[in-house]
């Protein structure tokens, strides 16, 4: 049986379940006397006996199952159900849901007029910039689809570009973000790797794997119309 097929993955996911939480076991994985699994998320829970056989839990590590569990976590990104990102960027209702590797095809076929098709360096200014503003934009470039998200909160301006596709490919791309003061040579330029569409934006902002500028700095680059001109480029690493 091909473990990469849906049937194979389903079988592996069932076999790799933790006896306690019934989820795919999370490494570090240990065994009871009969070989039932207890994963890392459950080892902090007091367990007097194995839920499957009543035998005493052991602290013997199962490195083979840990390798399988890590593989399942990577492949889960392809089979995870996702919503359409165009709903986020435009406020329009799109009820489509599907696997991550199907989103690109859906966006191109259904929302082609809502995609910003770009190549090389491009300018997409932020308008009506205020201390509570947030922005989203779907961008097509390099034969791929990306989601640009920006948010101002707690006196900071955050921006991240997210790759829409298999999670493992997100680190293959990078983006640059440059703002310049009007009628001046002064500018700020930041470069970061793209993140996966599956990641939580707030967690990315906290990790600082994104553009982060204090709002007072950003406000110095605003036009009189409260518009923030900028130049971006998405390229391969």
Between 100-110 and 63-79, two packed helices, what is the crossing angle to 10 degrees? 10
pTM of the model: 0.65
pLDDT at residue 8 in the model: 46
The pairing of strands 144-153 and 134-141 is antiparallel
What distance separates the 2 farthest-apart alpha carbons in the chain?
75
CATH number of this structure's domain 6-79, picked from the four choices 3.20.20.140, 3.40.50.970, 3.10.310.30, 3.30.40.10 = 3.30.40.10
Handedness of CA 202, 148, 88, 84 (dihedral sign): negative
Sorted by where each begins, the domain ranges of the chain are 6-79, 84-236
pLDDT of residue 103: 79
Average pLDDT of adjacent 10-residue blocks, the chain of 237 residues: 43 68 72 76 62 66 68 55 69 74 79 84 93 89 92 93 87 96 86 91 88 95 94 96
Topology of domain 84-236, CATH: 2.60.210
């Amino acid at each position: 049986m091909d473990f990469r097929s849906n049937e194979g993955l389903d079988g592996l996911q069932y076999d790799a379940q933790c006896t306690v939480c019934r989820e795919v076991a999370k490494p570090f994985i240990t065994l009871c006397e009969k070989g039932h699994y207890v994963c890392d998320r459950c080892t902090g829970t007091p367990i007097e006996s194995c839920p499957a056989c009543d035998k005493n839990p052991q602290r013997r590590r199962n490195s083979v199952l840990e390798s399988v569990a890590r593989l399942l976590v990577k492949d889960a990104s392809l089979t995870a159900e996702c919503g359409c990102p165009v709903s986020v960027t435009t406020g329009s209702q799109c009820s489509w849901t599907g696997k991550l590797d199907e989103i690109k095809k859906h966006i191109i076929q259904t929302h082609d007029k809502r995609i910003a098709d770009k190549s090389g360096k491009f300018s997409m200014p932020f308008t009506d910039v205020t201390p509570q503003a947030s922005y989203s934009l779907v961008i097509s470039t390099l034969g791929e689809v990306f989601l640009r998200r920006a948010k101002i909160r707690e006196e900071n301006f955050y921006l991240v570009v997210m790759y829409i596709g298999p999670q493992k490919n997100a680190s293959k791309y990078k983006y640059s973000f440059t703002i310049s003061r009007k009628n001046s040579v002064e500018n700020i330029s930041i470069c970061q790797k793209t993140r996966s569409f599956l990641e939580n934006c707030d967690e990315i902002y906290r990790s600082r794997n994104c553009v982060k500028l204090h709002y007072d700095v950003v406000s110095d680059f605003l036009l009189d119309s409260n518009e923030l001109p900028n130049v971006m480029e998405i390229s391969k690493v």
